[in-house]
Amino acid sequence: MNRARIASVTKTVAAAALFVVTAPAIAGAQTAAPPAINQADTAWMLVATALVLLMTPALAFFYGGLVRSKNALNTMMMSFVSLGFVGVLWAVVGYTLAFSTGGAWVGDLSKVFLRGVGLEPQGTIPHILFMAYQGTFAIITAALISGAIVERMRFSVYVTFISLWALLVYSPVAHWVWGGGWLAKMGALDFAGGTVVHVNAAAGALVAAIVLGKRQEYPSPSLLPHSVPLTLLGAGLLWFGWFGFNAGSALGATPIAGLAFVTTMFAPAATLMAWTFLDALRSRKPTAVGAATAIVVGLVAVTPAAGFISPMSAIALGAIAAVPSYLAMMVRVKTTLDDSLDVVAAHGVGGTVGALLTGVFADKALNGLADGALFGNPKQLVIQVTAIAAVAAYSGVVSFILLKIISLVTPLRTTAEDETTGLDLSLHGEEAYLHEG
Amino acid sequence: MNRARIASVTKTVAAAALFVVTAPAIAGAQTAAPPAINQADTAWMLVATALVLLMTPALAFFYGGLVRSKNALNTMMMSFVSLGFVGVLWAVVGYTLAFSTGGAWVGDLSKVFLRGVGLEPQGTIPHILFMAYQGTFAIITAALISGAIVERMRFSVYVTFISLWALLVYSPVAHWVWGGGWLAKMGALDFAGGTVVHVNAAAGALVAAIVLGKRQEYPSPSLLPHSVPLTLLGAGLLWFGWFGFNAGSALGATPIAGLAFVTTMFAPAATLMAWTFLDALRSRKPTAVGAATAIVVGLVAVTPAAGFISPMSAIALGAIAAVPSYLAMMVRVKTTLDDSLDVVAAHGVGGTVGALLTGVFADKALNGLADGALFGNPKQLVIQVTAIAAVAAYSGVVSFILLKIISLVTPLRTTAEDETTGLDLSLHGEEAYLHEG
Amino acid sequence: MNRARIASVTKTVAAAALFVVTAPAIAGAQTAAPPAINQADTAWMLVATALVLLMTPALAFFYGGLVRSKNALNTMMMSFVSLGFVGVLWAVVGYTLAFSTGGAWVGDLSKVFLRGVGLEPQGTIPHILFMAYQGTFAIITAALISGAIVERMRFSVYVTFISLWALLVYSPVAHWVWGGGWLAKMGALDFAGGTVVHVNAAAGALVAAIVLGKRQEYPSPSLLPHSVPLTLLGAGLLWFGWFGFNAGSALGATPIAGLAFVTTMFAPAATLMAWTFLDALRSRKPTAVGAATAIVVGLVAVTPAAGFISPMSAIALGAIAAVPSYLAMMVRVKTTLDDSLDVVAAHGVGGTVGALLTGVFADKALNGLADGALFGNPKQLVIQVTAIAAVAAYSGVVSFILLKIISLVTPLRTTAEDETTGLDLSLHGEEAYLHEG
Amino acid sequence: MKLIKSIVRPHKVDDVREALERLSIAGMTVTDVRGHGRQKGHTAVYRGKEYSVSLLPKVEIEVVVPDAVVDEVIEAVMAAARTGEIGDGRVFVLPVEHSYNIRTGEREAT
Amino acid sequence: MKLIKSIVRPHKVDDVREALERLSIAGMTVTDVRGHGRQKGHTAVYRGKEYSVSLLPKVEIEVVVPDAVVDEVIEAVMAAARTGEIGDGRVFVLPVEHSYNIRTGEREAT
Amino acid sequence: MKLIKSIVRPHKVDDVREALERLSIAGMTVTDVRGHGRQKGHTAVYRGKEYSVSLLPKVEIEVVVPDAVVDEVIEAVMAAARTGEIGDGRVFVLPVEHSYNIRTGEREAT
Ligand SMILES: Nc1ncnc2c1ncn2[C@@H]1O[C@H](COP(=O)(O)OP(=O)(O)O)[C@@H](O)[C@H]1O
Ligand SMILES: Nc1ncnc2c1ncn2[C@@H]1O[C@H](COP(=O)(O)OP(=O)(O)O)[C@@H](O)[C@H]1O
Ligand SMILES: Nc1ncnc2c1ncn2[C@@H]1O[C@H](COP(=O)(O)OP(=O)(O)O)[C@@H](O)[C@H]1O
């Protein structure tokens, strides 16, 4: 749904919820007053944007720790480079494709090169800040894909792929759901991007892993994390940044932002708890990689639901979401699908489960917007399914076409020799660690 | 003291301090206006809560770096798992035990399962946000204990212990001081938890270290940090998060929050300076582990005082606090008490010194609430001593009972063989690092 | 320029920009209303101060990763220790030297020991918070110097040097530009410290590197980073913290803060993109160290311009700034100047280019303050050049004198043997890593 | 008894270990080493400069075996470690005068 | 002269070093290795899969000593390194033809 | 053939490698080790306690060469690795019975 709408809606709720809201900006929002900057909303969105930007380096550490040391830098670069390429492209054309009025499928070019994007209010915050906040989502969504294709893809090809992907897949899909496109009109609920970000990236990742093929040694027990502490660092920073991702999606320091924040704290807590039990059940060994993974799965699952469900529902959602992702990982290793860092299991399955459960647990009394099946609105589930299917299909197909086109021009994979040597040395001319003691 | 009270008080101060405070919410607070959400306070508390949550991963890195690499993951898991178990339990029952009206000793069950905890204002922020903010304190307090018992405790036992501890020790103690319990009524000053968090955790840690017994090799020079950079990372992130811990305890973006922020910046700076001199004095070698430790000690010491004392007093407090903790560490290694990561010296001694000095440096002209001995109110010191003693005693006794009960059911320690192998491999089936070069 | 001035100015703009600004504080600012605390501004500045403080540990990781493991802790301590010594000195006397009225060259001692620095408003935030915010700048500026002199300087000498430097160089220069000194009056534009922080530190670093001399092995291919992931962590956290550095320099949650935030996001993105191409051009190997360096260079370059230029100009500025710094690094290694971690190339060249381009891209229609050459005000460039030259000269000369005086008392460098052994073990009695496997 | 000291490619270690186990040779000691030889190194880059990495990661596998089985062990190791590309490594055979088992304290029969 | 190559448990290194110093043998070279033998490995878990860690951390201690003291050195090492559990390790004795001291450039007397 | 096993200071490795290359000896295997000897260790500090670090970082360079060149190799290594200070290290010469090239599978001529 269009976040601008959320922003105002949540305010109606605020008032509806029968307590005095004092910041004039809000009172303003009720009447036909002209759009106005609300400084408190601005303060929160400045922070939220910084938090989401931090998630991309965090992802670099999360992924980087899970690969072998000879590919650690290449893997981290796959995230960092998105900050550069996708970031710049977003300002140039991505934003207008996603958030200008346009039509049901994609925005127009009215805001290309940020034309007309200045200090004036968008909702209750400066328009440029809204643009930047949305940009951080494009950056990390593209970077998420890398988890499926680490340790074997040519770097230049990767950069080309995610740059095109951000423009041709992310921007349109963001428009569908948040830019007033067809899914928004249909009433799909996706508070912070369970579908737009996670299902979307996972579909691209799945296709990329298939097109690229598996690593030479896959599946071999020697494909292990080189630094679990680095992965735990990534998980910790991701959780921290995710508060900006979810609570920031209220686009202001509103009670709904508070709700989204709280569900983002408790859902992953429940997933972590559930995952620990699943690990213990299976091997009597609760793993640290499992804990880090559980946190991400819980965060992914609560993303679409954050501002729509109650904290106790969030705990239920988080706990439930652990199971399908856990099983998906156990299944994956038995296949030849080398989705190396389980983007599909964590973001695809987790995002889908979250989007569906949003259609179950959504509570209009809280969010003032829509009820889920549990509150007598089963139709919402149908809408959710439609959104998931549409996004997954579109992303999968376009990702496939993009990779095929690129592969006509140049090989997608590194040489077998470079893969054996390790991509850090062969592609980047660096070694991650050097302990001359 | 009850933080809700602080919140309003600080506002009186604000006004008292003779300058115009413009946000209507505050004006509102003066009159008998109905409780109201203040968006600026909400914006700050959203951030503060995220900052405190980040402290638990930060603690994982701080502790994790100090142990041997074969136990690095187990040590980090001891912090991370608290985010899951203590987090969920807080929402389910911990919050109501601590913050519902109840009696002098513990809250009632009126808010169990967050009943009646919604978007309505608690003070000037959404009630759920207040609940979540307090939850982050419960999570880290429980995790702090782990520092005393690393490298030898069974993981399942640890999880059981801190889960029960959070409910049976932390929640009641929080109620005494912040939930309107007997220590609040007595006027004990504990701005952000010197007693509730640090003395409390340290007492539990001391008992746990004694009951569990020392590590096989203790004391041996081979028990050294495996990654000081990881510990420095933890210290850096802890300081960052602590601004949410202390300045957030003002529960709003008030001048008192500013005061608490500034003391939280300068007290540890002074401790770091003093510690460097102590290290240099002793061995002419200012250590990095010392710097990291000093930062934590300074943060612990200023925690109870943050919103009550002036910045220059904070510098004095920080410098003074360095000495007893430093000596405590030198003494500890000469004993057979294997408080492995010095929880007692850092949090117990530091928290006590801080709580006492709060009773010395508190300045009503600033905090609008209470004076310390230095400002002619020596009685405050007596109250502080009472609070420290009561909390330490209660926490120590209940921790002892809990561990003894658990030990009736199952052994607390790992087998000697698992301890030699390292807990990462034996309990979690993982290795922290794997450099196949 | 005086930031207090910015703060109010930006508000005029806000209004000028023809949309309703609702927070009374701002309306207030227009009239002759008494100074008043604005809670939203306070909320943002609390966060901004925490963010800038985090930059110093971040710098420790950035620098620490680039040195050899035997000097990792010494290098990180060079940053951490600044938090202690420069932090405390700032409160004691640095602040008054920089920000009390005083004269054109330096402030007076009216605020020594923070006399008269309390909860009253400074601009729209508590005065102590303003003081603390400025303090975080002094801390990191001093620490930046360390990059030029790692792996060979005696620690006690370093601590003495940066302590004196902070008082005798940083404080006066800050006064010139932000304290109402002569450069402020001249109208020099330095939004967040391109000149005050980066050119200033780089000049000191250059002199220190020359006076100290090169490392024994310099230039040798064996002087390589021991942990690039640690450096990437530093770069990620620096970017995150830099939002507080630049957007915080608006001193409130204003539209100009939004502008500064957005330019701080997109300029480094463009630099990262450009740097990747430069690396690829030169060796077909885009490096991770290059990416980390590019981020810092882009952040440095946009610092003076952040609140003055448009986002698209920021992208241009970021891309342009990549080239001179990149070339500077290629030249440096061919010289005998052992500016070990390229402080001059990154901060000196980057800061200069940024300050100049500020005089080119500044857009009064946006910042309401001043135009650059591109908008018909070439004179601004002359002012910018004056400021850069004056600051570089002053910092260079005083740094030289300070080091020479110290060298009369005690040697600046460690013994050759300690240098070979590594400073961690010889000066700090520690080893960064210990993998007993 | 002989010490068979083999320097192999890191990713061949598991193959070699399995090959040895097939000969029911359980004991072996493995060390991460870096090797220099005919195999060309890599060019690396750090800021301003390029440099060559000529020491490449290898793994050394040491096995002490009775004289009788030396030849088959060497064959097995070489077969398992071979890729045919330059850089496969070497096998060195050194004489061992005695071998003791620390646990039992006994000298092991040749 | 002989090279006494001992593979021991990591936490026994200090004991062995002290034992050698008691024999006033100062020089030794220590290497982190991983060993495979009778000692059973561990089962590890990574996401979907379980795998076995069969190479366990050991430490190799190399000492070159005159023939005369070989036996007492071996005894000392074994006594210091013994736990009695499987996994204690091995001591190998190899002949050394010459030993040079780099600093002095002289060949050392046998 | 002989195995020339040299223990040198870490910062001397490059010099030694170059010295060997000057003798057109390409093949060598390098291992990070820690050494104990006459060279005094360092005092380290951790919180309450001081302790001594007696194992210092060294690097072991192993080269297998034909008997003919043994002496010049030893000379070259010692010259390149020498600083004259205590701690320079040792060179040990061990007999090698055979050397095989894994890639070719052939035994190398002595
Ligand atoms: N003379 C030697 N002494 C010690 N190690 C050697 C020697 N020759 C080769 N090696 C080791 O064998 C590895 C592979 O040798 P190289 O010449 O690169 O390929 P190949 O073995 O296929 O000829 C080297 O990296 C080195 O570790
Ligand atoms: N034949 C061998 N060659 C080389 N190393 C060996 C050999 N046998 C044992 N080792 C080393 O000794 C270690 C301990 O041996 P193991 O059989 O596990 O226990 P034990 O020595 O008590 O029989 C092994 O991990 C390995 O490093
Ligand atoms: N007897 C020995 N056996 C094995 N290694 C030795 C022996 N003596 C010396 N070393 C190695 O040589 C290194 C340097 O020896 P040391 O006595 O410290 O200095 P120097 O070689 O100048 O006498 C030691 O750290 C150790 O690694």
SS3 state of residue A20: strand
Q: What is the pLDDT of residues A34-79, one digit of tens each?
A: 779 999 999 999 999 999 999 999 999 999 999 999 999 999 999 9
Q: Is residue F15 lining ligand 3, measured as CB closer than 6 Å?
A: no
Across E44-58, average pLDDT? 91
Q: Is the pLDDT of residue E98 over 70?
A: yes
Whose tokens are 């008490």? That residue is B337
Secondary structure string (H, E, C) spanning chain E: CEEEEEEECHHHHHHHHHHHHHCCCCCEEEEEEEEECCCCCEEEEECCEEEEECCEEEEEEEEEECHHHHHHHHHHHHHHHCCCCCCCCEEEEEECCEEEECCCCCECCC
pLDDT band at C435 (very low <50, low <70, confident <90, very high): confident
pLDDT in tens, C287-306: 999 999 999 999 999 999 99
The arithmetic mean of pLDDT across residues D35-55, rounded, is: 90
Q: Is E34 on the interface with D (CB under 8 A)?
A: yes
The CB of D7 under 6 Å from ligand 1? The reply is yes
Q: Is the pLDDT of residue C131 over 70?
A: yes
End-to-end CA distance of chain D: 6
Say yes or no: CB of residue E27 within 6 Å of ligand 3.
yes
**Could you give the dihedral angle defined by the CA atoms of residues B344, B349, B350 and B356, in that order, rounded to the nearest 10 degrees?**
150
Rounded to whole angstroms, the Cα distance separating B2 from B179 reads 6
Contacts (Cβ under 8 Å, ≥6 apart) of A304: A189, A190, A191, A192, A193, A194, A195, A351, A354, A355, A358
D55 touches chain B (CB under 8 A): no
Is the model's pLDDT at D84 over the cut of 60?
yes
Indicate whether residue F61 lines ligand 3 (CB < 6 A). no
Output the 3-class SS for C367-419. Answer: HCCCCCHHHCCCHHHHHHHHHHHHHHHHHHHHHHHHHHHHHHHCCCECCHHHH
pLDDT of residue D40: 87
pLDDT digits over C348-359, tens only? Answer: 999 999 999 999
- pLDDT tens, position by position, B102-154: 899 999 999 999 999 999 999 999 999 999 999 999 999 999 999 999 999 99
Average pLDDT in the B280-295 region?
96
Beta-carbon pairs below 8 A across chains C and F? 22
Check if E76 has its Cβ closer than 6 Å to any atom of ligand 3.
no
How many whole angstroms from F8 Cα to the centroid of ligand 3? 9
pLDDT, one tens digit per residue, over B356-404 is 999 999 999 999 999 999 999 999 999 999 999 999 999 999 999 999 9
Place of tokens 């340790």: A151
Residue A301 backbone phi and psi in degrees, to 5: -65, -35
Report pTM: 0.95
Res A245 pLDDT > 60? yes
Contact C419, C216 (CB under 8 A): yes
Nearest to B105 by CA among B165, B158, B180: B180
Most C-contacting residue of B251, B266, B277, B433 (CB-CB within 10 A), to test interface: B266
Question: What's the number of CA atoms in the CB half-sphere (13 Å) around residue B69?
Answer: 19
Ligand 2 within 6 A of CB of E82: no
Q: What is the pLDDT of residue C222?
A: 85
* Mutual angle of helices C311-332 and C350-361, in 10-degree steps: 150
Confidence of residue B1 (pLDDT cuts 50, 70, 90): very low
State mean pLDDT over B163-181.
Answer: 97
Closest D-chain CA to C328? D48
Pick from A47, A126, A129: which is nearest to C47 by CB?
Answer: A47
Q: What is the pLDDT of residue C15?
A: 32
**pLDDT tier at D108 (50, 70, 90 boundaries)?**
confident
User: Exposed, middle or buried by CB within 10 Å (0-12, 13-18, 19+), for A148?
Assistant: buried
> Residues in chain F, how many?
110
User: What's the rounded Cα separation, in Å, for the pair C253 and A101?
Assistant: 28
- Between the CA of E88 and the centroid of ligand 2 the distance, in Å, is 8
State pLDDT tens for residues C20-32.
Answer: 333 333 333 344 5
* Range of weakest confidence among B11-25, D3-17, E38-52, F23-37: B11-25
Residues 6+ apart with CB under 8 A from C7: C123, C124, C250, C251, C252, C254
Confidence of residue C180 (pLDDT cuts 50, 70, 90): very high
Which among E13, E16, E28, E103 is the best mutation to test ligand 3's pocket, defined by most ligand atoms within 8 Å of the CB?
Answer: E28
Question: What number does the ligand 3 atom closest to the CA of F90 have?
Answer: 12
Chain segment C67-79, per-residue pLDDT in tens: 999 999 999 999 9
C-alpha torsion B241→C90→B300→B376, nearest 10 = -130
CA dist., res. A317 & res. A326, Å (int): 14
Q: Give the confidence band of B10 by pLDDT, cuts at 50, 70, 90.
A: very low
The 3-state DSSP class for residue A266 equals: helix
The token pair at B418 is 């698992």
DSSP string, D9-59: -GGGHHHHHHHHHHTT---EEEEEEEEESSS--EEEEETTEEEEE--EEEE
DSSP H stretches of helix in A168-227: 171-178, 182-186, 200-212
| C-alpha F107 to ligand 1 mean position (Å) | 13
Residue nearest to atom 9 of ligand 3 (CA): E27
B435 pLDDT tier (thresholds 50, 70, 90): confident
Atom of ligand 1 nearest to the CA of D86: 22
Contact status of D94 with chain E (Cβ, < 8 Å):
yes
Q: Do F11 and C430 touch (CB under 8 A)?
A: no
Biggest alpha carbon–alpha carbon distance for chain F: 59
What the block records as the tokens of D26 is 């359980």
pLDDT score, position C33: 62
pLDDT in tens, B13-49: 333 332 333 333 333 334 456 779 999 999 999 999 9
Using a 10 angstrom Cβ sphere, with 0-12 exposed, 13-18 middle and 19 or more buried, the burial of residue B410 is exposed
Place of tokens 């000037």: B124
Q: For position C436, what pLDDT does the model report?
A: 63
**HEC readout, chain B:** CCHHHHHHHHHHHHHHCCCEECCHHHHHHHCCCCCEECHHHHHHHHHHHHHHHHHHHHHHHHHHHHCCHHHHHHHHHHHHHHHHHHHHHHHHHHHHHHHCCCCCCCCCCCCHHHCCCCCCEECCEEHHHHHHHHHHHHHHHHHHHHHHCCCCECHHHHHHHHHHHHHHHHHHHHHHHHCCCHHHHHCCCCCCCHHHHHHHHHHHHHHHHHHHCCCCCCCCCCCCCCEHHHHHHHHHHHHHHHHHHHHHHHCCCCHHHHHHHHHHHHHHHHHHHHHHHHHHHHHCCCCHHHHHHHHHHHHHHHCCCCCCCCHHHHHHHHHHHHHHHHHHHHHHCCCCCCCCCCHHHHHHHHHHHHHHHHHHHCCHHHHCCCCCHHHCCCHHHHHHHHHHHHHHHHHHHHHHHHHHHHHHHCCCECCHHHHHHCHHHHHHCCCCECCCC
Ligand 1 contact, D58 CB (< 6 A) = yes
Q: How many CB atoms within 10 Å of residue C375? A: 16
DSSP C33: P
Nearest CA in chain A to D46: A430
Indicate the length of chain C as a whole number: 437
Which residues have a Cβ under 8 Å from the Cβ of F79 and sit 6 or more positions away?
Answer: F19
Q: Which residues contact A154 (CB under 8 A, 6 or more apart)?
A: A410, A411, A412, A413, A414, A427
Integer Cα distance of F44 and C17 in angstroms: 62
The answer to whether the beta carbons of residues C142 and C166 sit under 8 Å apart is yes
Tell me the chain A residues in contact with residue E42 when contact means C-beta distances shorter than 8 Å.
Answer: none
Indicate if the pLDDT at residue A148 is higher than 50: yes
With 0-12 / 13-18 / 19 or more C-beta atoms within 10 angstroms meaning exposed / middle / buried, residue B335 is exposed
pLDDT digits (tens, 9 = 90+) for A361-371: 999 999 999 99
